[in-house]
Amino acid sequence: MKNVALITGASSGIGLELAKVHARQGGDLILVARSTTKLQKLKEEIEDQHGIFALIIPKDLSIPDAALEIHEEVVKREISVEYLINNAGFGDYGPYHETDWHKEEMMINLNILALTQFTKLFGRDMISRKSGHIMNVSSIMAFQPGPLMTVYAATKHYVQAYSEALYEEWKEFGVTVTALCPGATTTGFAEVANLENSKIFKNPKLPSARVVAEYGYAAMLKGEMTAIHQLKNKVMVNSAKFTPKKLLLKIVRKMQE
- Confidence at residue 247, expressed as pLDDT on a 0 to 100 scale: 84
CATH architecture of 4-256: 3-Layer(aba) Sandwich (3.40)
203 pLDDT tier (thresholds 50, 70, 90):
low
Count the alpha carbons within 13 Å of 194 in the hemisphere toward its beta carbon. Answer: 11
pLDDT at residue 36 greater than cutoff 60: yes
Catalytic member of 83, 93, 96, 152: 152
pLDDT at residue 199 greater than cutoff 60: no
Beta bridge partners of 176: 133
Amino acid type, 115: L
Q: What is the pTM of this model?
A: 0.88
Told to judge if 152 belongs to the known catalytic residues of this protein, a careful annotator would answer yes
In SS3 terms, the chain reads as CCCEEEEECCCCHHHHHHHHHHHHCCCCEEEEECCHHHHHHHHHHHHHHHCCCEEEEECCCCCCCHHHHHHHHHHHCCCCEEEEEECCCCCCCCCCCCCCHHHHHHHHHHHHHHHHHHHHHHHHHHHHHCCEEEEEECCHHHHCCCCCCHHHHHHHHHHHHHHHHHHHHHHHHCEEEEEEECCCCECCHHHHCCCCCCCCCCCCCCCEHHHHHHHHHHHHHHCCCEEECCHHHHHHHHHHCCCCHHHHHHHHHHHHC
Q: What is the pLDDT of residues 44-103, one digit of tens each?
A: 999 999 999 999 999 999 999 999 999 999 999 999 999 999 999 999 999 999 999 999
Least confident of 119-128, 225-234, 241-250: 241-250
Mean pLDDT of the chain: 91
Measured from the Cβ of residue 77, the count of other Cβ atoms closer than 10 Å reads 10
Average pLDDT for 100-129: 97
Measured from the Cβ of residue 251, the count of other Cβ atoms closer than 10 Å reads 16
pLDDT at residue 190 greater than cutoff 50: no
Q: What is the pLDDT of residues 237-248, one digit of tens each?
A: 888 787 888 888
